[in-house]
Amino acid sequence: MNSLKFSDKYISKYIKDIDKLSLSYDINKIYNFFINKNIDVTIDQDIISSYTFDWSNIQGGYAEILFRPKNSKECAIILKACQVCKIPITISAGRTNLTGSATPFGGAILSIQNLITPNIKVDNINKIVTCPVGIQLEEMRNKILEQSNNTLYYPVDPTSRNDALVGGTLSCNASGFVPGEKGATRYWVHAIEFILINGYTINIERGQYISKNGEFNIICNNQKTIKIPSYKRPKIKNASGPFSAFNEEIDFIDFIIGSEGIFGFIAGCKFKLMDKPQNFLDLFVILNSENQAIKLHQFLYIFFNNDMGKLTALEYFGYNCQKYMQNRDYFFNNNNEVAVYIQMPVYNKSIDDAMSDWIKILKNFDSKIDLDKVISLNDLQNWNKFFESRHSMPDNALSKTKELGGISIITDTIVPPENFKYYLDTIHKKLQNENIEYLLFGHLGDCHLHFHLIPNSSQEKKALRIYDFMVDLSSSLGGVYSAEHGTGKRKKIDFEKCYGKKSVAMIKNTKKVFDSDLLLNRGNIFKN
């Protein structure tokens, strides 16, 4: 198709009524307008207050009005009315993000929690699921298993999957344990329903519209040209700002997924699915050092022909993790040990046979590994203890931070594999020289580990300077400041440091074509 043709089907008969609100930033007037349209709206601050913060714990969030639409039509009307009245509007999903993207600072909130139509429907032949954006991710994953008779599944599994809503995962390009591009939401998106702030809507499938010469042409009342930002993004796990088109070509869907709602609103979606493996093998492997863990990653990278996506998890439990982990004595023998969690899909063999194969693989890697201490997590008791241990670490670390009166700093930096060891060694030395408490864990399969800093009240400024040092070092080594958490409001400065002021200007100019008054998700990625 030559142009993306947006439709006004949802708002056409409401335009005259909405236009009467023009330039009327009168919350009571707007509230009455929507009450008369039978759209869920409130100005009750006791209700609104619970929507003014997210897991980032950024302070000071507030809003004047809250909308909870139940379908795409209501979303379009709300967006159009906010545009006409010049009301900033923040999209709110499960509010599980760590960068403040769902924290509003004035204006309106559009919560998607009631946006649960259409019903989830799995196309078993084409391996596609049609899904509402307002349901929890884990609910969607379970419904897919149910409707496919346990033959298809959706592999993206972020830690917050029991709390995150599907729409939020689209907004931030959420990723989970699976290494590589298949571990991120963007790879699996087949189609979206996309609504601009002027209420115009389009349904588009992957491959339907690819940019030409770094541009999109869109038609919504009139024709507009969208110039795509062209900054160069490192080709590693990357959640640092909107997708760019450095090679001048990009699928419109890829451009929208992960843009944190600054260009428009995703009101519906379809995902590709994959065949569910017969089973999964889950192993907890004790190692004697971080160097051994890095060597294991290098070994497996070669073993799988540079495709770590053949694993469904390669997780690391490193420095100080034991100190903040429940059940540590169940998994570890001494304080110097580290560990990796390996999950591998199993096809056409038993778990016992798969276990035997992996024992051989680990033996070929390093004969010094005590193979008798490899724990199978396929045992339910072992799995429950592991799951409890994994989630206890950040929780206990946060509790310790509060006890010390400091602030919690969780890094999301990533560097290419060739610079991984140097980066870790440098940061370890820096933190230990400054006597900052921390632990290290994360996604070894992507060379993406989280330093969780635990400063006391007197170390806060020092810890923040070290965080800045980490961001600068990752950028200088070909990495980025955010591999999975996004940019939001908290990391706007990091984006500019990583990509430069010119790139910020590119994104802002692109947004102005979609949203001339910069009303939608104001404050995300760049400063208004």
* Model pLDDT, residue 408: 80
What's the mean per-residue pLDDT of the chain? 93
What DSSP state is assigned to residue 200? -
Per-domain residue ranges of the chain:
4-115, 121-275, 279-476
Tokens representing 9 are: 């089907």
Q: Per-residue confidence at 1, pLDDT binned at 50, 70, 90?
A: low
Determine the average pLDDT of the residues in 460-478: 95
Is it true that domain 4-115 has CATH number 3.30.43.10?
yes
* Model pLDDT, residue 306: 87
Q: Which residues contact 17 (CB under 8 A, 6 or more apart)?
A: 33
Least confident piece of the model among 17-26, 106-115, 414-423? 17-26
Each residue's pLDDT tens digit, 228-249:
999 999 989 999 999 998 777 8
* Model pLDDT, residue 23: 67
Q: What is the pTM of this model?
A: 0.93
**What is the CATH number that goes with domain 279-476?**
3.40.462.40
What percent of the chain is modeled with pLDDT above 90?
81
Determine the average pLDDT of the residues in 65-88: 96
- Crossing angle of helices 501-514/492-499, nearest 10°? 120
Q: From start to end of 263-389, where are the E strands?
A: 265-272, 274-275, 279-287, 313-317, 338-346, 375-376
Each residue's pLDDT tens digit, 92-101:
999 988 888 9
* Model pLDDT, residue 257: 96
Least confident piece of the model among 25-29, 120-124, 432-436? 25-29
Q: Are 358 and 283 in contact (CB under 8 A)?
A: yes
- Crossing angle of helices 460-476/492-499, nearest 10°? 30
Strands 89-92, 108-111: pairing kind? parallel
Determine the average pLDDT of the residues in 481-510: 94
**What is the CATH number that goes with domain 121-275?**
3.30.465.10
Q: Which residues contact 43 (CB under 8 A, 6 or more apart)?
A: 27, 28, 31, 64, 65, 66
Q: Which residues contact 158 (CB under 8 A, 6 or more apart)?
A: 137, 164, 169, 174, 175, 176, 484
Closest to 390 in 3D by CA, of 160, 218, 192, 228: 160
Closest to 199 in 3D by CA, of 525, 523, 519, 435: 519
Distance CA 96, CA 85 (A): 29
